[in-house]
Structure 1
Amino acid sequence: MALFGTQAASASSTTGDTSKDVEVPSGALPGDSISDLMWSPTHDFLAVGSWDKKVYIYEVINGVINGKWVFEAKGPVLCVAWSLDGTRVAAGDSEGNLSLVDLRNAGAGPVVEAKSFQAHQTGLRSLRWFKSNNSEYLVTGGWDKKVKFWDLNSANPVAEIECAERVYSMDVKDQLLVIATAERHIHMVNLNEPTKIYKTIQSPLKWQTRVVSCFSDASGFAVGSIEGRCAIQYVDDKNTTLNFSFKCHRQQDTTQRDVAKVYAVNAISFHPVHGTFSTAGSDGTFHFWDKDAKHRLKGYPEVGGSITATAFSKDGGIFAYAVSYDWSKGYSGNSPQYPIKLKLHPIVGDECKPRPGTKKR
């Protein structure tokens, strides 16, 4: 078990700077907690889903972020995703609806009309676009324990998978689909054979899974849980000796010796160029890591509230993160005064570069 996540961020070389982070003005922010965000793969557009039933699309020009488009879903938005060509945005909501907009048809005004239909019987928790046999598809995962594949030429899926439990998180990289469900099940699917679960494992972490995220080279994935831990897992059985887990997003209790406060890991994002990754959590901090060197590159100070979602821009030059209530303390932990923020952190220098001499896998 690697414990590199427990090291204090006292050394200046590992303490990150957020003083240059750009914040979206309050008047352009969502009206409720931010559930998900994703950068366009082709432009500096950022799609942001919120519990206020809307998806906000921002444009970043020369470090300045401005509202570009907005569309409304039928229920609180749980997930958003861009198509691979950057022309369409999909959103899933708590009622199981799939909403789609084609930005090529967007008018001069900011409001875009979405086409919506019922895709899952209950909440649509996660979605991703992928390409197979030169065609683009959308995969959706719901709390109805189903993962469905769509070509969007009809309101019926072209295929589906029955999962072991409710889908909590999914990610796709190349032909690897990873599905994390309730009760700590993790399914792996080869998208060349999308109707078959290639492998199922139990999460190496002991408590509820919050997020899975595929490595940049699709050789494996990272798992984050509510217990302030992250696990690195490789798909190929030949690489199981490289699997490990580590503690993160924990704080020493100043009043009790040998007691740590534990926070959920809400988001994990991999850098598209360097293959390093970020974790962010309920403690309001984010960190950059080198999994191959088992080393923390940078740790950043608290941002004033739980971080609910993160993403690197298409070239890895900007790290976006959302601050809002994450429901980790239930209904009673929320209040109208809880901050809602959307911030952009410019990646400077070697913040996300692997340690010198690290072999990139």
Structure 2
Amino acid sequence: MTTPTAFADYELKERPQDPVSAMAFSPNHAPERAGQLLVASWDRLVRLYDLSYAQDSQGVRLVQVFEHEAAVLDVCWINDTLAASGGLDRRVRLLNLETGQTNILGKHGNAVSRIRFCPQTGLLISASWDRTIQIWDPLSSPPRHLRTLSVPDKVLAMDLSPPFASSPAETRPVSASANGARVEVDRTPRLVVGMTGRGVWIYELDKLRQTLDRAQAGQEVKESDWEPEQKRESSLKFMIRDIRCMPAGDGYATSSVEGRIAVEFFDPTPEAQAKKYAFKCHRQAVDGIDTVYPVNAMAFHPVHGTFASIGGDAICSIWDAAAKKRIRQYPRLPSPLSAGCFSSDGMRLAIASGAENIEDTRHPGPGAGEVGEVGRGGEGNVRIHIKAAWEDCKPKVRPNPAS
């Protein structure tokens, strides 16, 4: 049996025609599961690929295809055989990964922008442009809706902490708040929600689960019990594009349309908050003009604690959050990047190129594309790139000042 580490970078042959909105590898890091990849696209489909033992594109299997009524904006795993998705048709769907069947769990009043499943609490959380977060129990028989929470603005980004249910055997994630040291993971399940008004709300899901259980049992529940533990304002001045939580469970990163990333920590004490920072990225000088690109997505490595930034400049960079510096920049891909994710064993990085950009619509024709030699995205230009990630994403060894 081939090992998942022994492969060169490759592209998936059977790929979406329209831009990829979200990707997610299986949370199960067993060798036969770690390479299973869900891909959601604007072509109204969710695809399930199996890359587990692929050394090149020939070894990849397209296992299932799930059709929706409109563009799919997000997808997440629930367990080895069940996933959930949502999109512009406002429906929250459960996807049976064995049979290929789809069931509508419920709906929002507007597009479902983000969806996540928390294995510690058994809660499926969907967020929408309708300014609500809906809570579901997807594993009950039958699956059921538990609660609707109101938020002040459209939800643009959302993630769970810790983002990985567990790490590969005998490894512990690196902490961004402990100078790159490997630490015990803070397993407190949290939900981080980013909105159009730059608000960032943080819920502790254990407490929310307890409140839901009390309400289901007919016990008294105060309105304050449904409130988030923290309400913050984004450190970024412009609209949020993505939120991703750190594998050590100690914080999260946000990205914006204006080529910036902020690294934040959950601990509200002044000492912890003094460690947060923000930096510029995904910008270049074109004809003497500083051109800024959006950071469309991010992804944290489950063990090394480094993270990838996925840019509208067709560049993917790897950053060391503890050292506050870039450790790798991949060669420019064919067109703007829209999504990316690491496998739960840390061996693979999937990157989707082919996002549309402003120049595609303003200046159609053979010369279309953003300035700075960024190629044309959109229909027919989508590619999914698979990279061997373990060595590329290792933090640089920092010398001991005492030596």
Question: Normalising by structure 2, what TM-score?
Answer: 0.77
Per the alignment, residue 116 of structure 1 pairs with: 104
Contact 2:320-2:327 at 8 Å conserved across structures: yes
- Residue of structure 2 equivalent to 1:73: 68
Q: CA deviation at 1:276?
A: 0.9
> CA–CA distance in 1 between the matches of 2:341 and 2:36?
12
Query: In the alignment, which residue of structure 2 is the partner of 1:246?
Result: 279
Residue 193 of structure 1 and its aligned partner are, at CA, apart by 2.1
In structure 1, runs of 5+ residues without a counterpart are 1-18, 107-111
Report what 1:10 is aligned to.
none
Counterpart residue number, 2:216 = none
Determine the structure 1 residue equivalent to 2:315.
285
Match of residue 234 from structure 2: 203
Count of aligned pairs: 326
**Two-structure CA RMSD over aligned residues (Å):** 2.1
Aligned partner of 2:249 in structure 1 is 218
Tell me how far 1:205 sits from its aligned partner.
Answer: 0.8
Kindly indicate which of the two structures has a greater share of residues assigned to strand: 1
Residue of structure 1 in register with 2:46 after alignment: 55
Summarize deviations over 1:2-31 as a string: whole Å, max 9, x none: xxxxxxxxxxxxxxxxx9421011xx1112
- What is the rounded CA distance, in whole Å, between the counterparts of 2:267 and 2:399 in structure 1? 21
CA distance in 2, matches of 1:31, 1:160: 34
Partner letter of residue 306 of structure 1?
P
Match 2:388 to one of 343, 346, 360: 346
Query: Could you say which residue in structure 2 is the equivalent of 1:190?
Result: 204
Contact 2:355 2:378 in 1 (8 A): no
1:295 paired with 2:337, answer: no
Aligned to 2:96, which of 99, 102, 114? 102
- Provide the rounded CA distance (Å) in 2 between the counterparts of 1:333 and 1:217: 44
Distance 1:263 1:179 in 2: 23
Once the two structures are superposed, what CA deviation does each residue of 1:136-166 show, in whole Å capped at 9, x if it has no partner? 2211100011111100245652123211200
C-alpha displacement of 1:250: 0.4
Pair 191,348 (structure 1): closer, same or farther in 2 beyond 3 Å? closer
What is the match of residue 229 of structure 1? 260
Are residues 1:260 and 2:251 paired?
no
Q: Secondary structure of the residue that 1:192 maps to in structure 2?
A: helix
1:130 alignment partner, one of 103, 114, 118: 118
Paired residues of 1:282 and 1:328 also in contact (CA < 8 A): no
Tell me which of 191, 201, 218 is aligned to 1:177.
191
- Name the structure 2 match of 1:315: 345
Partners of 1:328 and 1:249 lie apart in 2 by 16
Shift of 1:348: 5.0
Residue by residue over 1:48-91, the C-alpha shift from the partner in whole angstroms, topping out at 9 and shown as x without a partner, is 001111101101123232211111122210001011x3221111
Over the matched positions of the two proteins, sequence identity in percent amounts to: 28
Asked whether the equivalents of residues 196 and 240 of structure 2 are also in contact (C-alpha less than 8 Å), the reply is: yes
Distance between the aligned counterparts of 1:302 and 1:97, measured in 2? 36
- Per-residue deviation at 1:118? 3.7
CA-to-aligned-CA distance 1:306-353 (integer Å, 9 cap, x gap) = 11000001111000011122455685477766611011011253x211
Kindly provide the CA deviation profile for residues 153-188 of structure 1, in whole angstroms up to 9, marking residues without a partner as x. Answer: 456521232112000010002401100111211111
Q: CA deviation at 1:103?
A: 2.3
Do the aligned partners of 1:73 and 1:91 also contact (CA within 8 Å) in 2?
no
8 Å CA contact 2:135–2:148 kept in 1: the answer is yes
Distance in 2 of aligned mates of 1:130 and 1:326 = 31
* Cα distance in 2, alignment partners of residues 242 and 299 from structure 1: 25
Q: Tell me the equivalent position of 1:15.
A: none
Residue by residue, what CA displacement relative to the aligned partner does 1:92-112 show, whole Å, maximum 9, x if unpaired? 0112111211224x2xxxxx2
Does 74-83 or 329-338 show the bigger shift? Answer: 329-338
Tell me, yes or no, if the aligned pair for 1:73 and 1:114 is still in contact at 8 Å. Answer: no
Gaps of 5+ in 2: 1-6, 163-188, 209-225, 365-376
Using the alignment, how far apart are the partners of 1:233 and 1:157 within structure 2? Answer: 32
1:171 alignment partner, SS class: strand
Structure label with greater radius of gyration: 2
Task: Specify the alignment match of 1:40 in structure 2.
Answer: 26
Counterpart of 2:393 in structure 1: which amino acid? Answer: C
The question of whether the paired residues in 1 share the 8 Å contact of 2:336 and 2:357 is answered with no
TM superposition shift of 1:212? 0.3
SS at match of 2:197: helix
Q: TM-score scaled by structure 1?
A: 0.85
Matching of residues 18-33 of structure 1 within 5 Å: 20-25=8-13, 28-33=14-19
Paired AA for residue 334 in structure 2: G
Shift of 1:279: 0.4
Per-residue deviation, 1:355: 2.7
Residue deviations 1:216-266 (CA, integer Å, cap 9, x gap): 11111000000000000111123111100001100112x22xx31000001
Decide whether the 8 Å contact of 2:352 with 2:385 is kept in 1: yes
**CA distance in 1: counterparts of 2:390 and 2:228, whole angstroms:** 40
Question: Structure 1: which amino acid aligns with 2:276?
Answer: N
